Structure 1
Amino acid sequence: MTSTTSSPVVPGTEPFSADGGPVGVLLSHGFTGSPASMVPWGRHLAGLGHTVRVPRLPGHGTTWQDLNTTRWQDWYGELDAALTDLRSTCAHVVVAGLSMGGSLALSLAEQRPDDVDAIVLVNPAVNVARLDVKLVPALQWIVPAMPGVANDIKKPGQDEIGYDKTPLKALASLLRTWKVIRTDLPSVTQPLLLFRSDDDHVVDASSKDIVLSGVSSTIKEFVALQNSYHVATIDNDAQLIFDRTAAFIAEHVGASRD
């Protein structure tokens, strides 16, 4: 479904890859964001010896118009291929995601349960309460975009290098897929670590509650982030996310599980 574009990739939005040990970590950025929001997390995990992949999802890191030519299947397909790549060399794989990246991580866990050993979510998005977003299925045929949601970050000087507009045809595809993900949540049994910012101006708290109550995982850890907004992976609580993720992997996806 993706159309081939010639738009140049914005500097700083390139994917990141590091080869390491037998535990792989796949990190997904969010809708209209870029790998810039995930690479510091990826570098930290790579520094601990893990094999890491941070893809640039189709339509991201160029222009919002490019993103409007892509759909959920394109973004999922990029992560699906990265998961296959990691499984070819790693004994275990953890899938982590920010915002829409969290819904992609959940979808991978639902569709490929034998290939995903654990899930880490930061402000995951599977639902929305905003009225204007609920109108997107109709609005997409009237206007191409609405104001952007990028860079909801409390820490000064940080930039996820996202778009200043939210393309509506792409967003409509995302909203349709959320319904499927929510329906299939009971099939998720992997250990789950979920971070949620107390003050998030993009994703409301309903997604957290839906995920935690919907999955069948016996191991569910929740961590509140008290000093970050939506893009918490490069906000004031980033180091907390990095450290808790590393500890979670060591406890639940370490050599003892080989």
Structure 2
Amino acid sequence: MAEKYPVLEGAEPFYFEGNEIGILVSHGFTGSTQSMRPLGEAYAKEGYTVCGPRLKGHGTHHEEMETTTYQDWINSVEEGYQRLKERCSTIFVTGLSMGGTLTLYMAEKYPEIKGIIPINAAIEIPDMAAAANLEDVRFLDAIGSDIKNPEVKELAYEKTPVKSLGEITVLMSMVKADLGKINCPALIFVSKEDHVVPPSNSQDIYNSIKSGAKELVTMENSYHVATLDNDQELIIQRTLQFLQRSLETSSFQG
């Protein structure tokens, strides 16, 4: 049976076979794998095995997203995690925006994860929580493509389903409540100026997790979709250093 909504060009899931160190890469709410692909390709170039799943209901049409739940999005990421586990002995997780929320969720649920790199992760967005309660409104304007660089556009939905705002709000509060369970190394990126997720979210994450090795890196030159913005190279370089450091200081015998 043909899909009602085909996957948009550039929004396909990606997988790069590499060594036995895996990196799970998650895109954000209403976005697509396009926002994380440059990072995935950079990590694959260094020899890592990289999996970038397409979250259910994303990268197709906002009407399909409207039919999905936060559990569907968790399942999409967990499927990617299981795929990496089949061939990798060590796994790191990174994600942008809601992908960062899902990154935190994975660290809460799977303590064997070696380290996390949340990027402008969301744990509380009052505007979204308020909008989720709107009645007689099905879709709101887009939240995608909050990018400082005028030459770059994010492949994201032109409309945001109100029902989906309710789903992400539940996911955020659930993840926020369990942040104290996280104790793996964490490299947290936050844009100084972000028009989607209040930057205070990242400080709250930093303060709440129990990780002995944790660092908060402020990005001066990017808005919300920092992975496609002016600080893309900074994210890649600092993440590669973080991976190396985490592997060296652990009992990992590669």
User: What is the CA distance between 1:154 and its match in structure 2?
Assistant: 1.0
User: What is the CA distance between 1:257 and its match in structure 2?
Assistant: 2.1
Match of 1:128, as an amino acid? I
Partner residue of 1:244 out of 234, 238, 247? 238
Residue 175 (structure 1) aligned with residue 169 (structure 2): yes
Alignment of 1:24-39 (within 5 A): 24-39=22-37
Q: Distance in 2 between matches of 1:160 and 1:256?
A: 39
Q: Distance in 2 between matches of 1:90 and 1:166?
A: 36
Match of 2:131, as an amino acid? V
User: What is the CA distance between 1:233 and its match in structure 2?
Assistant: 0.4
Q: Distance in 2 between matches of 1:157 and 1:24?
A: 32
Number of the residue aligned with 1:73: 71
Number of the residue aligned with 2:192: 198
Partner residue of 2:214 out of 220, 223, 229? 220
Alignment of 1:117-156 (within 5 A): 117-130=114-127, 133-139=128-134, 141-156=135-150
Q: Deviations over 1:155-186 (max 9, x none)?
A: 12212200111111112011012111111110
Provide the TM-score with structure 2 as the length reference: 0.95
Q: Is the 8 A contact 1:158 1:235 kept in 2?
A: yes
Match of 1:192, as an amino acid? A
Q: Is the 8 A contact 2:193 2:199 kept in 1?
A: no
SS of 1:97's equivalent in the other structure is strand
The 10-residue stretch of structure 1 (232-241 or 206-215) with the greater mean CA deviation from structure 2? 206-215
Match of 1:127, as an amino acid? E
Match of 1:179, as an amino acid? S
Q: Distance in 1 between matches of 2:73 and 2:23?
A: 17
SS of 1:253's equivalent in the other structure is helix
Q: Distance in 2 between matches of 1:160 and 1:91?
A: 33
Q: Distance in 1 between matches of 2:104 and 2:247?
A: 17
Q: Distance in 2 between matches of 1:182 and 1:203?
A: 14
User: What is the CA distance between 1:129 and its match in structure 2?
Assistant: 3.3
The 10-residue stretch of structure 1 (151-160 or 242-251) with the greater mean CA deviation from structure 2? 151-160
Q: Distance in 2 between matches of 1:83 and 1:233?
A: 21
Uncovered stretches (5+) of structure 1, i.e. residues with no partner: none
Any runs of at least 4 consecutive aligned residues in structure 1 with deviations exceeding 4 A, and if so which? none
Number of the residue aligned with 1:8: 6
Provide the TM-score with structure 1 as the length reference: 0.94
Q: Distance in 2 between matches of 1:205 and 1:214?
A: 15
Q: Distance in 2 between matches of 1:256 and 1:153?
A: 39
Q: Deviations over 1:207-228 (max 9, x none)?
A: 1122111111011111110111
Match of 1:119, as an amino acid? I
User: What is the CA distance between 1:256 and its match in structure 2?
Assistant: 5.4
Q: Deviations over 1:55-77 (max 9, x none)?
A: 11111111111100001000110
Uncovered stretches (5+) of structure 2, i.e. residues with no partner: none
Percentage identity across aligned positions? 39
User: What is the CA distance between 1:206 and its match in structure 2?
Assistant: 2.6
Q: Deviations over 1:96-118 (max 9, x none)?
A: 0000000001111111112x110
Q: Distance in 2 between matches of 1:236 and 1:86?
A: 30
Residue 158 (structure 1) aligned with residue 155 (structure 2): no
User: What is the CA distance between 1:137 and its match in structure 2?
Assistant: 3.7
